[in-house]
Amino acid sequence: MKRVLTALMVLAVSATAYAQRVPDPKPAAQGFLVLPVALGNPVFSNLTSVLAQVDGCFQLPVYKGLGLGVGVNASFFELNEFGLGAQTQTQGFVNRILYYGKLNYVHYTGPVTFVQLDAKFGPSSWNWNCSTCTESARQPGFHWGVDAGYFVHASPNLAFGLTVGYDADNTSFGPDVIGLERFPGRTDTGSPYRFLTVGLGFSTGFAKASGEGMW
């Protein structure tokens, strides 16, 4: 009986020590370099090449890993000169600017690793500037997206991670956006903006100052 009680006490002490080693979520500033891959939009994929997508946000834990945050995302694409075929020459650039709020959940899987889930919502704006455009075209819309990330701490307040996500806008890319009546040699009439995203980034936590009650 004594051996059983001793074993239970050891397990209880070990579990308590492990729990103490697992950090709580902190307020954090995060930044990501993202690769977006267009889904279900072959003309857009042929016409554009990704230059960069960058994302920055600040998030605050609210209750047991659940949190709120705000951020900004900017995507930049270059138009391929013959992306619409040899008969139609198109040059220029396009960008999307996104401001969003987000709901997030952070869960530590160990002393130095955590997973993060995000749901993002906010206004977006696609801005086209190309040689076939009758004028600079702007497409305002509403954006939503979901992301999952896995992070590893390099120090108590700095972690690096990999994210995978899906995002969408309620606006579409069609021939009228770039000043055409139709896409040459194609029957496509246009498709909504949908992307699979893969990102690399960092998360900088803000710990409480020793002896003080604020972050």
Contacts with 181 (C-beta within 8 Å, 6 or more apart), sequence order: 175
Checking if the pLDDT of 213 tops 50, the result is no
Task: Report if residue 142 sits inside a domain.
Answer: yes
Contact 108, 23 (CB under 8 A): yes
Contact 176, 214 (CB under 8 A): no
pLDDT of residue 187: 66
3-state secondary structure of 32: strand
Task: Report if residue 2 sits inside a domain.
Answer: no
pLDDT of residue 120: 97
Checking if the pLDDT of 13 tops 50, the result is no
Mean pLDDT of 20-32: 85
Q: Whole-model pTM above 0.75?
A: yes
Q: Which residue has the higher pLDDT, 140 or 212?
A: 140
Write out the residue range of the structural domain in which residue 174 sits. Answer: 23-205
Task: Report if residue 7 sits inside a domain.
Answer: no
Give 57-103 pLDDT, tens digit per residue: 999 999 988 999 999 999 999 988 766 665 666 778 899 999 999 99
Burial annotation 158-184 (CB, 10 A radius, 16+ → b, else e): ebebebebebbbebbbbbebbebeebe
Q: Residue 73's closest CA among 101, 54, 93, 49?
A: 54
Checking if the pLDDT of 176 tops 80, the result is no
* Number of domains the chain contains: 1
Give 114-163 pLDDT, tens digit per residue: 999 999 999 999 998 877 777 768 889 999 999 999 999 999 899 999 99
Give 157-174 pLDDT, tens digit per residue: 999 999 999 999 999 887
Which band of pLDDT confidence, cut at 50, 70 and 90, is reported for residue 104? Answer: very high
Task: Report if residue 195 sits inside a domain.
Answer: yes
Which band of pLDDT confidence, cut at 50, 70 and 90, is reported for residue 186? Answer: low
| Integer Cα distance of 123 and 142 in angstroms | 5
CATH number, residue 143? 2.40.160.20
- Sign of the C-alpha dihedral computed for residues 37, 66, 18 and 208 taken in this order: positive
Task: Report if residue 77 sits inside a domain.
Answer: yes
Contact 19, 30 (CB under 8 A): no
Task: Report if residue 8 sits inside a domain.
Answer: no
